[in-house]
Structure 1
């Protein structure tokens, strides 16, 4: 995941991945049929880690309390484990590139993960589509700002607290 997060699907060699995990490239291909399978496994792991983080953060909470707990947990993960964020961004880029080439497998897998993520957030927020959309939109904005390298004290972060319910 760390290598794909840095180099993306097309910019990451399987040789670099094998070296990172301490195995030979031929052994890597005994575990996975190809680079796409490795990328999809890394993508699945990334999404599942985020789902687990949100679920753990809001366990026993609903509504605004869940909103703030999940938001705080995401901001912490992004600041402490930026490779999670960068892997998400690389997943979206890989889907776009693959779809343009007529390969829909990336898109199907990433969209399925996104829907599991959506549902994990949606239910604690009272199954409110607007609240879930706003929460996810803030998350994507966080992803973009971090990916562009804005430091935490930059003025672009000033409005990042999600609005509270009336």
Structure 2
């Protein structure tokens, strides 16, 4: 209908803020990203942004939580219908597709670790307290779905962290440089 405005609901605006925050934090880090930049990317005022989220930390936690959840959801899709012994390879391949297809997702993951470590080094534990349980849930999901023992699940996640670092440094996902360093296939 002509003249009808398609206004976003608060939930839709919140979602657009989380998406914008992932991009902004991925590129600028927690300290280097202003809430003004996030608001500008979404097309809202800063006061409106603070009606959706109480502060910058809450925005970062929402973006970090989304990043971790999207990794788990990608893993769930990749593992659907597979036997536990097939899951390892499926998750590994899916993870490479995920970080290759969405550089902001990869960089956001790296920024999560930097932000938590930096905040805690300065005596602030709010980010870590909020984010650690999400990461533990991801580890638990991988551990259980792979049917792996603790050592195998830890090895899988450790390889993922190594791949994060190498791809963040500019090694292409297709360049299996990490295979010579750590056997990520077991």
Normalised by the length of structure 1, the TM-score is 0.92
Alignment partners' CA distance in 2, 1:138 and 1:155:
12
Higher relative contact order (CA 8 A, sep 6+): 1
1:137 paired with 2:124, answer no
1:100 Cα deviation from its structure 2 partner? 1.3
1:58 Cα deviation from its structure 2 partner? 0.8
Map 1:57-76 onto structure 2 (within 5 A).
57-76=78-97
1:53–1:73 Cα contact (<8 Å) kept:
yes
1:54 paired with 2:75, answer yes
Map 1:17-166 onto structure 2 (within 5 A).
17-152=38-173, 154=175, 156-159=177-180, 162-164=184-186
Unaligned runs of 5+ in 1: none
- Secondary structure of the equivalent of 2:172? coil
Alignment partners' CA distance in 1, 2:133 and 2:165:
22
2:159–2:184 Cα contact (<8 Å) kept:
yes
Query: Are residues 163 and 153 of structure 1, via their aligned partners in 2, closer, same or farther at CA, if it must alter by over 3 Å?
Result: closer
Structure label with greater radius of gyration: 2
Aligned pairs, number: 164
Cα displacement string for residues 105-148 of structure 1 (whole angstroms, at most 9, x for unaligned residues)? 11112210111100110112214101101110110011000111
Query: Are residues 154 and 60 of structure 1, via their aligned partners in 2, closer, same or farther at CA, if it must alter by over 3 Å?
Result: closer
Alignment partners' CA distance in 2, 1:57 and 1:149:
25
Query: Are residues 16 and 68 of structure 1, via their aligned partners in 2, closer, same or farther at CA, if it must alter by over 3 Å?
Result: same
Alignment partners' CA distance in 1, 2:140 and 2:130:
16
1:61–1:124 Cα contact (<8 Å) kept:
no
Unaligned runs of 5+ in 2: 1-21
RMSD: 1.6
